[in-house]
Amino acid sequence: MFETLSREADDPLLALTPLFRADPNPAKVDLGVGVYRDELGRTPVFRAVKRAEAHLLETQETKAYVGPEGDRTFIEAFWTFVAGEGRHAAGVQTVGGTGALRLAAELLRRSGSSRIFLGTPTWSNHSAIFAAAGLSVVTYPSFDVAGQRLLAGEMISVVADKAQPGDAILLHASCHNPTGAVMDDATWAAVAEVALEKGLVPVIDSAYQGFGTGIESDAAPLRRLLDRVPEAIVAASASKSFGLYRERTGAVYATSASPETRDKLKSHLVTIGRGAYSMPPDHGAAVVRTILTDPELRTDWRTELDDARKRITSMRTILAKGLSRLSPALAAIATQQGMFSLLPIDETRIVELRHRRGIYMPLSGRINIAGLNSSQAPGVIEALCAHAALG
């Protein structure tokens, strides 16, 4: 039976990492998968994470199950990190942000939703996650790559025109992946109005909090949206904000004003997780819980996250200046936020840059700006100017 299977293609984004590792070029630059790197090219374990881990090693007395919903203190502290004080939600711990999105998708299906609207380009895995849960994915263009411009008006009118009550709409909380585009307050407000008018459920993917302009300011649009709409789902990841990538730490939260509905929502989220992987892994959540509930660790973690953001911002300024020689629109890289920007380069040039210059980026033209340091930046700008048919 198994012989009848055809081979699945490797994930094109994740496949870049082994290719990069195998490249003997000493000047190679990895602008692929979205992990933060410091000036020395390392993805460091946050100091606060190390200290939390030492504390856990010292004090943890058992590895017995925590329970299917995960660590309640983590779930609550992480919700306050994302949503601020005083907002109610049914939350469960998940296997990273992807696990949170998958549980969100399954919950939508169970609630009678059958479609989700995705603005494109979006994270390369979004479609697959929602489709795997049986939702139909409706895409609409939301970014002009050559002009580096969010298509805000078009986005609102397409959704207002096509969406039906019970449909869901995916939004990026901040630091849009892959474009870095910033959705202004007026567009967030317009999205909230469309969601209200049409009876849509916003699903907000929050994976880069702290990498835009700050922990609180990055979460502000999401918080205002939660105050406006009666029901929403937030899929939150600790991978980047706490540097816990491989620990697969996240949580999904569904909001409702009714405590009875929240209780039902939580029961469904727990049941979906139980049927998929039984219970979430503990370690990353225990680390986040330890940091968020200890004022000293929390301050140290915030300082390190702030430093990471400042480093990315300075790389953005350098890149924007260098690349705006090729296309004035690329000056926008300086004001875009988070790890990514999307360059208007065709695939042939991207492969050429990889083979000739050791610069690795996915064929979409997305670059992980957090993968760049100040010694590599001039060479990368020069190579992009030499090889890339931008504009």
Interface with ligand LMR (CB under 6 A)? 13, 33-34, 123, 125, 177
- The two beta strands, 149-150 and 143-144, are antiparallel
Least distance to ligand LMR, CB of residue 119, Å: 16
Report H helices in the chain: 16-22, 47-59, 72-83, 96-110, 126-132, 152-162, 185-198, 215-228, 259-276, 283-292, 295-323, 347-357, 377-387
What backbone torsions phi and psi does residue 126 show, to the nearest 5 degrees?
-55, -50
Cβ burial 210-231 (10 Å sphere, 16+ → b, else e):
bbbbbbeebbbbbbebbebbeb
Shortest Cβ distance from residue 58 to ligand LMR (Å)? 32
**Complex with ligand LMR: residue 33 or 158, whichever CB lies closer:** 33
CB closer to ligand LMR, 90 vs 281: 281
Residue 121's nearest CA partner among 363, 324, 353 is: 363
d(CA 312, CA 341): 11
CB of 22 to ligand LMR, least distance (A): 19
Sequence-ordered list of residues with C-beta below 8 angstroms from that of 330, at least 6 positions apart, any chain:
148, 320, 323, 324, 343, 390
Nearer to ligand LMR, 16 or 163 (CB): 16
- CA count, 13 A, side-chain hemisphere, 39: 7
C-alpha neighbours within 13 Å on the C-beta side of residue 292: 22
Least gap, CB of 340 to ligand LMR (angstroms): 7
Count of C-beta atoms within a 10 Å radius of residue 22: 7
Q: In this structure, what token pair is assigned to residue 292?
A: 């968020």
Nearer Cβ to ligand LMR (12/391): 12
Sequence-ordered list of residues with C-beta below 8 angstroms from that of 274, at least 6 positions apart, any chain = 68
**Side-chain half-sphere exposure of 236, counting CA atoms within 13 A:** 31
Q: Tell me which H or E stretch contains 277.
A: none
Measured over the CA atoms of residue 250, residue 221, residue 329 and residue 145, the dihedral's sign is: positive
Q: Which is nearer to ligand LMR, 128 or 334 (CB)?
A: 128
Of residues 60 and 120, the one with the C-beta less far from ligand LMR: 120
Distance, CA of 252 to CA of 99 (rounded, Å): 8
For residue 332, how far is the Cα from the chain centroid?
20
Nearer to ligand LMR, 163 or 308 (CB): 308
Q: Minimum distance from CB of 123 to ligand LMR (Å)? A: 5
Residue number of the CB closest to ligand LMR reads 34
Per-residue tokens: 79:
């919700």
| Minimum CB distance to ligand LMR smaller for 250 or for 290 | 250
C-alpha torsion 68→71→77→82, nearest 10: -40
CB of 309 to ligand LMR, least distance (A): 17
**C-beta of 357: minimal distance to ligand LMR in Å?**
21
Residues annotated as catalytic (active site), given as ranges: 123, 205, 207, 240
The least distance separating ligand LMR from the CB of residue 97, rounded to whole angstroms, comes to: 8
